Chains A and B, each alone.
Chain A
Amino acid sequence: MTDTGTGTGTGRGTWVDQALREHEEHAAPEHAGPQPAAASDREQQVLDRIDKARRRRPKVREERITMSHGAGGKATRTLVEAVFLDAFSNPLLDPLEDSAQLHVNGGRVALTTDSYVVSPLFFPGGDIGDLAVNGTVNDLAVSGATPLYLSAGFILEEGFPVTDLIEIVTSMKAAAQVAGVQVVTGDTKVVQRGKADGCYINTAGVGVIEHDMSLGVANAQPGDAVIVSGPIGDHGVTIMLARGELDIEADITSDTAALNGLIADLLAATPGVRALRDATRGGVATILNEVATAAQVGVLVNEDAIPVRTVVRGASELLGIDPMYVACEGRMVVVVDGGEADKALAALRSHPLGADAAIIGSITAEPPGMVLLKTAFGGSRIVDLLVGDPLPRIC
């Protein structure tokens, strides 16, 4: 079929035509059913067809980068898979874990990198400096590594106050001390006024993996428990309010923190941990979807059990966003053997950063690849990957 039927006569082409063409190619046989089936069967057929469509190789349809490509949701994943993974694919990169695990002289080393563009640079509870240290430390720690060394690259805008830079670097130093890491190499670039927004930081980190546990979201199994290490969404809501665009004032600070101490305690307490992920951009919902997709399991979450501060809930209600998608910078999701869940929870709660940890759900066999939420109201729904970007430049 060559007529894609857009019928606009305005020369529109691009992805709409392409999407419709692909749809015709893939969907034609299923439409040709001779008998109209019962509504529930037809709905199931549609669900199956969508499932198939979602498994197809992702394509970036936009002609230009939009803010959604940086939001950590669906568009980010599409960009990563269709552009970066397509070019760089290798066994170390392909699992798309928070850090790569390298084998060096018989030992295991973890390597990660992250860039920080948060706006504003200073916010209650932290600044871009400690964020840049903690974020990279956490990406190493959730891979089960002991973080050791960081690099720090600065992109500075002409005219940026030196006192601000010193304040940022001072908090990086303090955060590095707390996390027990050293900044051992760096880089500085300056761009003309207007070509950047004050200060951007990139950090890379190296750590060693000193145990033989294998952590990864693909390891999740039916019967496992899902834990979050504390109240979710504090960082995202703090940043949003710190921007001052909403005229809402609330007593809340970012949760930015290095999680390596908490993780060390957890891994020492139980051998049952299957996966750890820090819930940054895209929030807890995104992590749970990564678990469901990677392990082809269902994730069943109880909305009532998810710890969310009243301030965060209130702000989210007002703004029409779901705290499950709001970024944290010092919280993680833990998938642990169901039999070890209580032990894991106790270990987390005995550390100050995990005092409010809670079991929020479990891994199920059905339906594979999906996150289901039992709502506080008593109904059920799915929790999908985030589309669009409610909060740009959160970290």
Chain B
Amino acid sequence: MRFVDEFRSADKAHALAAKIAGLCEPGRQYKLMEVCGGHTHTIYKHGLEDYLPEQITLVHGPGCPVCVIPMGRVDDAIALASHPDTIMTSFGDMMRVPGSQGSFFDAKAQGTDIRMVYSPLDSLKIARQNPDKRVVFMAIGFETTTPSTAMTVLRAAAEKLDNFSIFCNHVTIIPAMKAILDSPDLRLDGFIGPGHVSTVIGCRPYEFVARDYGKPVVVAGFEPLDILQSIYMLMVQLSEGRSEVENQYTRVVPWDGNLAALTAINQVLELRPYFEWRGLGFISHSAMRVRPEYAKFDAELLFEVPGVRVADPKACQCGEVLKGVLKPWECKVFGTACTPETPIGTCMVSPEGACAAYYNFGRMNRRRVVEVSIS
């Protein structure tokens, strides 16, 4: 299939893997973080780690949209959706994220009207079809999905659709990366930068990572060869002692981002003073809320929400996993009390969560499996 198979060529992968191995300094260990959960998913789904020398460890980062939603916000959303004559719309990923009293799926089973949509614009369709109901879109995600939420609000405003609003939980990636860089727990050698986020924000916002922290960043695409090539580019920088921002995903990511998308975001949304991230705690200026000019589309103002902060179960170590301090399997409840079927932590919910990716795709003794598949 065109536009897919050429980015999954095993021959090219073998050639790149040999070059990567050749760049490893003897005795040196390399820790590279893939910031984005989409990359984590690709890495496990295609078995990319088989191509890496043991000296290179991939550390999974915080860029998983549903993983960073704290329990209290899930409770707020369910409280919102439980108002009479209300329909909540949500991306499918969000449906299984546990709040303190259960997930959207559980709320749905109890009669709350929560519907899965593939695009925020579908919520407008539902709002038009149900003029006697209030339709609230559960807006989540990094800068990748923020423009589509902003465009949806703009469309609703243009149509004067008064029964539509959003529950805004959009977050921004840069403050999270900075929090990780400032964390004393982790020594990273470089970053595989988030490709989809960068289609919106461009590559410039990462320059502080290279300049102030001396770590290379390579913005990467989502096919397995994209990631392998980014690892190669990082290794070249490291072997030459450089730390720069480079763009591997040039077929999609413009260096300066997407001005139209940024304008739409800026028109409808503004930064919150602070926002709680699951596992990472409160991070200042790390999330978006609806601007006062669009207040009538802001569900947080239209509805009464409990706004109670709910602590994660103590046994849950999602925060350590999100920061890359723990590997998924090092969490105490991984795979026993916490499974994709009955997740305790968010990292086990989303296909982009590191725990879910490891559990569903990588739960094996890699060395032994490689032996079986060769024999």
Contact = CB atoms under 8 A, between A and B. Distances in A.
A85 interface: no
Contacts of B361: 381-382, 384
Contacts of B5: 376
B314 A7 contact: yes
B19 to A, nearest CB: 16
Contacts of B341: 68, 74-75, 78, 387
A380 B342 contact: no
A43 B339 CA distance: 16
Interface string B306-345: 0010111111000000000001011011111111111010
A300 B373 contact: yes
Contacts of B224: 377, 379
A67 interface: yes
Contacts of B327: 43
Contacts of B315: 4-6, 20, 23
A377 B373 contact: no
A313 B1 contact: yes
Interface in A348-395: 364, 366-367, 370, 372-382, 384, 387-388, 390
A64 B102 CA distance: 11
A380 B335 contact: no
Interface stretch (B48-56, B210-218, B294-302): B48-56
Contacts of B4: 313, 317
A321 to B, nearest CB: 10
A388 B224 CA distance: 25
B10 A377 contact: yes
A374 B47 CA distance: 8
A16 B334 contact: no
Contacts of B46: 375-377, 379, 381
B92 interface: yes
Interface stretch (B106-114, B144-152, B248-256, B278-286): B106-114
A121 to B, nearest CB: 21
A156 to B, nearest CB: 25
A9 B340 CA distance: 25
Residue of A8, A40, A49 with most chain B CB atoms under a 10 A cut-off: A8
B118 A376 contact: no
B338 A8 contact: no
Q: What size tier do the contact residues of chain B reach?
A: 35 or more
A379 B47 CA distance: 4
B183 interface: no
B92 A390 contact: yes
A378 B336 contact: no
Contacts of A310: 1
B311 A26 contact: no
Contacts of A15: 342
B306 to A, nearest CB: 10
Contact of A379 (B50, B95, B122): B50
Interface in A9-66: 9-10, 12, 14-16, 19-20, 22-23, 26-27, 31, 40, 42-44, 46-47, 49-50, 53, 61-66
A245 interface: yes
Contact of A372 (B313, B333, B367, B373): B373
A258 B330 CA distance: 48
B47 A380 contact: yes
13 contacts: A6-B314, A7-B312, A8-B100, A8-B313, A23-B337, A43-B365, A49-B335, A68-B105, A75-B341, A367-B369, A378-B14, A378-B47, A381-B47
Interface of A: 4-10, 12, 14-16, 19-20, 22-23, 26-27, 31, 40, 42-44, 46-47, 49-50, 53, 61-68, 74-75, 78, 245-246, 298, 300, 310, 313-314, 317, 320, 364, 366-367, 370, 372-382, 384, 387-388, 390
